[in-house]
């Protein structure tokens, strides 16, 4: 029997309009997440999904496309009756988004729906403003919600331009800027760990924490996104959203509540407290890398400049590692290290909290080593929280070894968990904003990375090479070694 959740929270009719309905994000993430929400009984029975795309398909042809292209990305056994019910929710509108005819057809399709309208922009950012203008001209924006995927612009100026233009059509509380990492179960448990337990709060500060490491690593290259990626790079594509958002959650002060603005206000304070990067800081504390040919999981892969459509002289970074500081009372003197990259040794996203060693050890020198006590919060591929401590080995001697206290969500909780997009799409439909990025947060993140972008555009800037299947340039390890620590690669 298909497992169903017991209730539909904030049940209401809705029309979920998916621009880019035949794109990669819709195929791999959004439609599977909507199916999972439907399967789990968490979507109102009157809710409709309206996919809009340029692909010339009639409605039945689109459902065949969904059947062929979306099913392989759904985890677990598919109940065919539930699948057929899900397909009945879907309406397809075909046409070019730069022509008014498609919005006339969309208006006709929406006339048969009721409830909140959600416009999800699973397209390139160049279409965000034109589509919003067209929606306004068609009279479709009243009371609607707009979901914007990353990247929102190319830099601070273009991000502001998009936000300014969209903000003239939609109010700020109608705009949801999505970062799917914020919907992961382990990130939610980071809130619970910090703010639901008295155990960690006294330790969550400079006196007890030696350093914080945040990694978002991918084995994949840039396949299918070559043109976009060569114009964007890892700093814009990843650092200014996922890792910085995770840093803000780790470093934030306890919010007054978990409502949207309380959480986002505290994250914003962290982003404002990040030490500004000067030219010398960037040269010393930021590593820019690009993968060359190598092997990932035993398979030979091309280098970045050998990928189709990539310029042979491209200096676009596929890897970034950096050190930063949060200049406030709680975190003064604690280095935060971020790294992200493609074609690395493993696909893993994690936060590592390294606690300080004991000031004096009567039970062996291992207790004096950095990293003897650490908290690992892994977001993918498996979601877990692992606390590393020292324990005595059996025997006569006082010999210590590292052991782990594990919280593995898939083993502890039998109830089927929601993936990040499922959680966030349900929040979109219900109008819960806490896990979405507010404009001032996004602006602060862009503002912080702007000096790095300027420095990299200056004469003399260079990109280090690393072999695909490794953990990035050697300079990324040297960066941490200078501060007496290292990346947690042995547990990956």
SS3 of 132-167 = HHHHHHCCCCCCCEEEECCCCCCCHHHHHHHHHHHH
Identify the CATH homologous superfamily for domain 182-415+438-481. Answer: Dihydrodipicolinate Reductase; domain 2 (3.30.360.10)
In the sheet that holds 384-392, the strands lie side by side as 400-408, 384-392, 374-380, 348-355, 209-217, 335-341, 319-325, 286-292, 464-467
- Residue 374: count of CB within 10 angstroms of its CB: 22
Tell me how far apart the alpha carbons of residues 349 and 215 are, in angstroms, rounded to a whole number: 5
Q: Under a CB-based contact definition with an 8 Å cutoff, are residues 47 and 15 in contact?
A: yes
Predicted pLDDT at 492: 44
Residues 6+ apart with CB under 8 A from 436: 176, 177, 178, 179, 182, 260, 424, 427
Strands 348-355, 335-341: pairing kind: unpaired
Predicted pLDDT at 439: 94
Residue among 38, 180, 213, 242 flagged as catalytic:
242
Rg from Cα positions in the chain: 24
Summary count for the chain: helices (H), strands (E): 16, 17
Residue 27 phi/psi, 5-degree rounding, is -70, -45
Region of residue 460 (left: phi > 0; alpha: psi -120 to 50; beta: else): left
Q: Which fold has domain 14-149?
A: Rossmann fold (3.40.50)
Tell me how far apart the alpha carbons of residues 169 and 171 are, in angstroms, rounded to a whole number: 7
Which position has the token pair 């988004």?
97
Six token digits for residue 373: 């006590």
Q: Under a CB-based contact definition with an 8 Å cutoff, are residues 293 and 343 in contact?
A: no
In the sheet that holds 48-53, the strands lie side by side as 90-94, 48-53, 14-19, 116-121, 145-148, 175-177
Q: Which of 251, 406, 410 is nearest to 336 (CA)?
A: 251
Helix (H, G, I), strand (E, B) or coil at 181: helix
Domain boundaries, the chain: 14-149, 182-415+438-481
Angle at 414 between CA 413 and CA 416, to 5 degrees: 100
The DSSP line for 66-96 is HHHHTGGGS-S---HHHHHHHHTTEEEEES-
Predicted pLDDT at 338: 98
Predicted pLDDT at 358: 76
Catalytic status, residue 213: no
Which position has the token pair 């993140």?
445
Predicted pLDDT at 368: 56
Q: Which residues sit opposite 300 in a β-bridge?
A: 295
Each residue's pLDDT expressed in tens, for the chain with a length of 492 residues: 344 443 444 446 899 999 999 998 999 999 999 999 999 999 999 999 999 999 999 999 999 999 999 999 998 889 999 999 999 999 999 999 988 899 999 999 999 898 999 999 999 888 999 999 999 999 999 999 999 987 788 888 999 999 999 999 999 999 999 988 888 877 888 888 888 888 888 899 999 999 999 999 999 998 777 888 898 999 999 999 899 999 999 999 999 888 888 999 999 999 999 999 999 999 999 999 999 999 999 999 999 999 988 999 899 999 999 999 999 999 999 999 999 999 999 999 999 999 987 766 666 666 556 667 889 999 888 888 888 877 777 776 776 777 777 766 666 665 667 788 999 999 999 998 888 999 999 999 999 999 999 999 888 788 999 999 999 999 999 999 999 899 987 554
Residues 6+ apart with CB under 8 A from 228: 124
Residues 6+ apart with CB under 8 A from 339: 213, 214, 215, 216, 217, 243, 319, 320, 321, 322, 472, 476, 487
- Cα dihedral 59→60→63→67 (10° resolution): -160
pTM of the model: 0.89
Burial of 489 (0-12, 13-18, 19+ CB in 10 A): middle
């Amino acid at each position: 029997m298909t497992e169903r959740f017991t209730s539909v929270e904030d049940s209401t009719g809705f029309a979920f309009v998916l621009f880019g309905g035949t794109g990669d994000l819709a195929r791999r993430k959004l439609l599977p997440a909507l199916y999972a929400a439907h399967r789990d009984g968490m979507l109102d029975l009157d809710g409709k999904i309206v996919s809009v795309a340029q692909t010339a398909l009639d409605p039945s042809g689109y459902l065949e496309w969904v059947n062929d292209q979306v099913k392989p990305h759904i985890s677990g056994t598919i109940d065919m009756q539930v699948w057929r019910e899900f397909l009945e929710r879907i309406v397809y509108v075909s046409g070019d988004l730069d022509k008014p005819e498609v919005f006339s057809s969309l208006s006709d399709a929406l006339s048969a729906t009721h409830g909140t309208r959600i416009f999800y922009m699973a397209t390139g950012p160049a279409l965000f403003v034109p589509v919003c203008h067209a929606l306004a001209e068609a009279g479709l924006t009243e009371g609607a919600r707009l979901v914007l995927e990353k990247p929102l612009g190319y830099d601070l100026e273009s991000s502001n331009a998009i936000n300014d233009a969209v903000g003239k059509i939609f109010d700020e509380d109608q705009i949801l800027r999505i970062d799917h990492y914020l919907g992961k179960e382990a990130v939610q448990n980071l809130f619970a760990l910090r703010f639901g337990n008295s155990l960690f709060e006294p330790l969550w500060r400079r006196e007890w924490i030696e350093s914080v490491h945040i990694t978002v690593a991918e084995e994949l290259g840039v396949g299918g996104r070559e043109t976009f990626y060569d114009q964007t790079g890892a700093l814009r594509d990843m650092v200014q959203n996922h890792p910085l958002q995770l840093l803000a959650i780790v470093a934030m002060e306890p919010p007054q509540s978990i409502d949207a603005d309380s959480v986002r206000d505290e994250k914003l304070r962290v982003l404002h407290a990040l030490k500004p990067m000067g030219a010398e800081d960037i040269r010393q504390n930021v590593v820019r890398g690009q993968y060359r040919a190598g092997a990932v999981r035993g398979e030979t892969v091309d280098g970045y400049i050998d990928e189709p459509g990539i310029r042979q002289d491209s200096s676009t970074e596929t890897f970034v590692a950096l050190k930063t500081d949060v200049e406030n009372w709680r975190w003064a003197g604690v280095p935060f290290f971020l790294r992200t990259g493609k074609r690395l040794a493993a696909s893993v996203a994690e936060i590592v909290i390294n606690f300080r060693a004991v000031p004096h050890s009567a039970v062996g020198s291992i207790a004096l080593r950095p990293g003897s006590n650490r908290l690992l919060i892994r977001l993918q591929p498996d979601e877990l929280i692992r606390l590393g401590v020292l324990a005595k080995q059996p025997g006569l001697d006082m010999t210590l070894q590292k052991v782990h206290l594990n919280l593995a969500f898939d083993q502890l909780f039998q109830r089927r968990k929601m993936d990040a997009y499922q959680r966030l799409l349900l929040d979109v439909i219900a109008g819960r904003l806490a896990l979405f990025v507010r404009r001032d947060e996004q602006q602060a993140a862009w503002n912080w990375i702007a000096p790095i972008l300027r420095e990299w555009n200056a004469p003399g800037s260079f990109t280090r090479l690393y072999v695909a299947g490794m953990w990035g340039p050697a300079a990324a390890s040297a960066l941490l070694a200078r501060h007496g620590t290292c990346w947690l690669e042995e547990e990956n």
